[in-house]
Structure 1
Amino acid sequence: MSTHTIKNIFTPGAIAAAFIAESIQKHSTKITIGAHSIFLGQVRSDVIDQKVVTAIEYTAYEELALTTLHEIREALFKKYELTCMHVHHSLGYVAAGEICLFVFTSSKHRAAAIAACGEAVERIKKELPIWGKELFDDDTHQWKQNQ
Structure 2
Amino acid sequence: MSRTLKEIYEYDLIEDDGIDYTVDEWFNTIMAKTKDQLTVSDVSRMLRQKICSRVAIKRAIEILNDDPFIGEMFEGQLMFNLYAGKEKYLKLFYAQMRPMLEKAGLMAKAHNWGSEEEKNEYMDIIARFAQKIKEDNNETS
TM surpasses 0.5? no
Which of structures 1 and 2 has the larger relative contact order (alpha carbons within 8 angstroms, sep 6+)? 1
Task: Identify, as 1 or 2, the structure richer in strand.
Answer: 1
Task: Identify, as 1 or 2, the structure richer in helix.
Answer: 2
Structure-2-length-normalised TM-score:
0.28
